[in-house]
Amino acid sequence: MSGSNDHIGAAARRYGKATLAEAVARLRDGGLVAVPTETVYGLAADSTDAAAVAEIYRAKGRPDFNPLIVHVSDLDTARTLGQFNERAAGFAAAFWPGPLTLVVPKTEDCPVTAAVTAGLDTIALRVPAHPVMRELLQVSGLFLAAPSANRSGGISPTTADHVTRSLGKAVPLILDGGPCERGIESSIVAIDGDDYRILRPGPVTAAQLETIAGKPPATARIGKIEAPGQLASHYAPAKPVRLGAQTAMADEYHIGFGPVAGDMNLSEDSDLAEAASLLFAALHDADASDRLRIAVAPIPETEIGLALNDRLRRAASPK
């Protein structure tokens, strides 16, 4: 984290004891707080408070058919909200705390307000690894609904400054914990009895899941949008995006990778994890640049490269 506060917007405040206490008070009072996780910044509210959850949808301009992820401290707490069979518990044991969201059947007495799950009988649960989010969960004792802290359909935020630029005055407090280490949203996995399906590729790869499960994921049901983050246009900059670009035109901001230098380079060493951590910041910068269009170098379709290409295809999809 840099020593200067100059770039920080009015609502963004460096994480510390006092700001954490203020965040807890605001959340208990039904307010919204933007908070860093290891993936992207989330826009958090008490998931049992219908009015607070309605505020999330309003602040993001998010369609109300798109359900939210609920963040909890540990698997025991998660079990009060969702039903964990052996398959789900196995994944939780292997990857929590971490960038994996599990979609499981809700418990019968699940206290989460209906809007969080958008009327589904399943719930998306995650135990995040970021120390600021973990402390917020532990100190508040709340189950925090938190989508990415951006306007619906826009680029996800990996710094407090991105949150300020995307949501502006809609968020009264942003806990600034520096840039997010992973930089790309959690993998979302739906549990279906003994089977599992990857609804959104992310930092936990198919190969890692297969190692734990001892079998590959079932294929997603064709034609059915199961996680609305799967909508064709999403994570979208305002400018047109061209993919697979070895070279760029004069009016294009070129996002490079490996040997393709670009105006900026996601990873000169072709390290996909490093590239993931920088992708959304690069799209934010490209969008804010004086070039009219964005070109992106080819990214290999392996490991977390699958998640990068998933986000890039949606970013490039016509709005």
Residues that bind ligand TXA (CB under 6 A): 37, 39-40, 42, 66-69, 101, 103, 117, 120, 122-124, 126, 146-148, 185-186, 188, 199, 226-229
- 39's contact among Mg ion, ligand TXA, none, with CB below 5 to 8 A by partner kind, is ligand TXA
- 317's contact among Mg ion, ligand TXA, none, with CB below 5 to 8 A by partner kind, is none
Considering the complex, state which of residue 117 and residue 166 has its C-beta at the smaller distance from ligand TXA: 117
Measure the CA dihedral 7/13/14/20, to 10°: -170
- Farthest CA pair distance, the chain: 58
Name the minimum Å distance from CB 150 to Mg ion.
6
Name the minimum Å distance from CB 223 to ligand TXA.
15
DSSP one-letter string for 16-43: SHHHHHHHHHHHHTT--EEEE-SSSEEE
Q: Give Cα 86 distance to the centre of its chain.
A: 26
Q: Could you say whether residue 158 binds Mg ion (CB under 5 A)? A: no
Q: Which residues inside 176-215 make contact with Mg ion, applying CB under 5 A?
A: none
Considering the complex, state which of residue 19 and residue 148 has its C-beta at the smaller distance from Mg ion: 148
In angstroms, the Cα distances linking 84 to 4, 81, 122, 191, 212 are: 45, 10, 11, 9, 16
Considering the complex, state which of residue 148 and residue 309 has its C-beta at the smaller distance from Mg ion: 148
Tell me how far apart the alpha carbons of residues 60 and 69 are, in angstroms, rounded to a whole number: 14
DSSP one-letter string for 224-283: --SSGGGSSS-S--SS-EE-S-SS--TTEEEEEBTTB--SEES-TT--HHHHHHHHHHHH
Convert residues 112-151 into a mask of x (bound to Mg ion by CB under 5 A) and - (unbound): ------------------------------------x---
Tell me how far apart the alpha carbons of residues 112 and 297 are, in angstroms, rounded to a whole number: 42
Amino acid at site 279: L
Considering the complex, state which of residue 148 and residue 166 has its C-beta at the smaller distance from Mg ion: 148
Q: Give Cα 223 distance to the centre of its chain.
A: 23
Name the minimum Å distance from CB 263 to ligand TXA.
27
- 228's contact among Mg ion, ligand TXA, none, with CB below 5 to 8 A by partner kind, is ligand TXA
Residue 170 · residue 9 · CB < 8 Å: no
Amino acid at site 101: T
- 67's contact among Mg ion, ligand TXA, none, with CB below 5 to 8 A by partner kind, is ligand TXA
Name the minimum Å distance from CB 234 to Mg ion.
7
Name the minimum Å distance from CB 146 to ligand TXA.
5
Residue nearest to ligand TXA (CB): 229
- 74's contact among ligand TXA, Mg ion, none, with CB below 5 to 8 A by partner kind, is none
Tell me how far apart the alpha carbons of residues 226 and 77 are, in angstroms, rounded to a whole number: 25
Interface with Mg ion (CB under 5 A): 148
